[in-house]
Structure 1
Amino acid sequence: MRVVIAGGHGKIARLLERELAGRGDTPVGLIRNLDHAAALRAAGAQPVACDLERAGVDDVAAHLHGADAAVFAAGAGPGSGAARKDTVDRAAAVLLADAAQAAGVRRYLLVSSMGVDQPPGPGSDDGWAAYLAAKKAAEDDVRGRDLDWTVLRPGRLTDDPPTGRIALAPHVEPGAVTRTDVARVLVALLYHPGTTGTVLELVGGETPIADAVAAAESR
């Protein structure tokens, strides 16, 4: 399987690339900065220079031709302002969806966030509110498209060792999840097209990943 990943140098993306490469798949990471190319190669991915804040649909579609799936795992990151959260977390996700349709790539996974359906909690800063708004707008756009989409909403991300056990459903209790477990869930979703058209929240839990994804597929 050839999988094109937007935000190819991000933490989840590099873990996903390593997981896919380990299975014999071909991960392709879209990156803005070619200084990050070596890190992608070390993860087993093919690095491709593509700035999603500047590229056009045809530019991105050219990198998607022949792919089996597209994964949006990009993010403006902590410390970025509301404008960049909009251009990356929303607009770049929309651009990747446009390009996927132009290139005939139907499978599209969007990494979003738990909490996008609720207002920010007390004490949240403007950046967090902008992030949630951008993620929700990206979800709304993608969910209205003729694509085989799945939206994954992880909880609070950690760099702890993976447990391989999760809670995965349209609604779960808030909690944390390791980035490696997120990457492994993304791989499982790619191989389970029956999850198409679903929005799934993800935290650490008690169910093995394979069983949790199979259950989500049967809903």
Structure 2
Amino acid sequence: MRIAIAGGHGQIARQLSTLLAQGGHDPVALIRNADQEADVVAAGATPLVIDLEHCDDSELAEGLTGCDAVVFAAGSGPGSTPERKLSVDRDGAILLADAAVQAGIRRYVLLSSRGADTYDADSDDIFQIYLRAKSEADAAVRGNDQLDWTIVRPGSLTDDSPTGKVRTGAEVEGSIPRGDVAALIATLLATGAGVGKQFEVVSGEMPIAEAVAAL
């Protein structure tokens, strides 16, 4: 499969690209900075320079031509403004969904956050705005009946070595290595499992392949 990954220079995205390439797939890393091209090529992906905050769905759809699936792994990052939490984490995910539909792509995996729906709508705290952005993006994708979507909500992300084992559920607490999140998404894409499912995931005792098959 040819799989476009928004936020292709991120840590999870690059690990995902490597796993997909090793599995015989063709990852395409959507990046907004051409200086990042060498990094994503080294991870096994083909770079596509496009800025989700400064393009429309038609332009993005053109870039997605020939892809079989899309992954939203983009984020505004630490220290970003409240405005960018909404323009990247929410609007970028919705833009990718709209562009995927235009390009005739049904499979969409959205990387969200544990506890996204618990945000305080009256708060101006940056983390609450981040959760709101994720929650609203998730809701928009869930409501798109032209997509075969899966929404992955990991717990606190770490740089620990991946264990290959996870725990999933509607609500779970804990942390998870970025490498295990990448492996989980790769398994979802390779197997086609998890369509129409939204779940939280943290480190656990179940092998990723079994956890994905049980969704």
TM-score band (shorter)? over 0.9
The alpha-carbon distance between structure 1 residues 18 and 125, as it changes in their structure 2 partners (threshold 3 A), is farther
Structure 1 segments unaligned to the other structure (5+ residues): none
Identical-pair percentage: 53
Aligned to 1:178: 177
Give the Cα separation in 2 of the matches to 1:20 and 1:75. Answer: 21
Give the Cα separation in 1 of the matches to 2:68 and 2:186. Answer: 13
Normalised TM-score (structure 1): 0.94
Structure 2 segments unaligned to the other structure (5+ residues): none
What SS class does the counterpart of residue 108 from structure 1 fall into? strand
Q: Alpha-carbon deviations, 1:72-94, whole Å to 9, x = none?
A: 00000000011000000000100
What SS class does the counterpart of residue 141 from structure 1 fall into? helix
* Superposed counterparts of 1:60-209, under 5 Å: 60-119=60-119, 126-146=125-145, 147-172=147-172, 174-209=173-208
The reply to whether residue 47 of structure 1 matches residue 47 of structure 2 is yes
Aligned length: 212
Give the Cα separation in 2 of the matches to 1:110 and 1:176. Answer: 18
Deviation at 1:125, TM superposition (A): 7.7
- Contact 1:31-1:49 at 8 Å conserved across structures: yes
- Contact 2:155-2:175 at 8 Å conserved across structures: yes
Q: Alpha-carbon deviations, 1:30-55, whole Å to 9, x = none?
A: 00000000000000100010000001
Deviation at 1:96, TM superposition (A): 0.2
The alpha-carbon distance between structure 1 residues 50 and 202, as it changes in their structure 2 partners (threshold 3 A), is same
What SS class does the counterpart of residue 137 from structure 2 fall into? helix
- Contact 2:119-2:132 at 8 Å conserved across structures: no
Deviation at 1:95, TM superposition (A): 0.4
Give the Cα separation in 2 of the matches to 1:24 and 1:192. Answer: 13
Normalised TM-score (structure 2): 0.96
Runs of 4+ in 1 over 4 A off after TM superposition: none
What SS class does the counterpart of residue 141 from structure 2 fall into? helix
RMSD of the alignment, in Å? 1.2
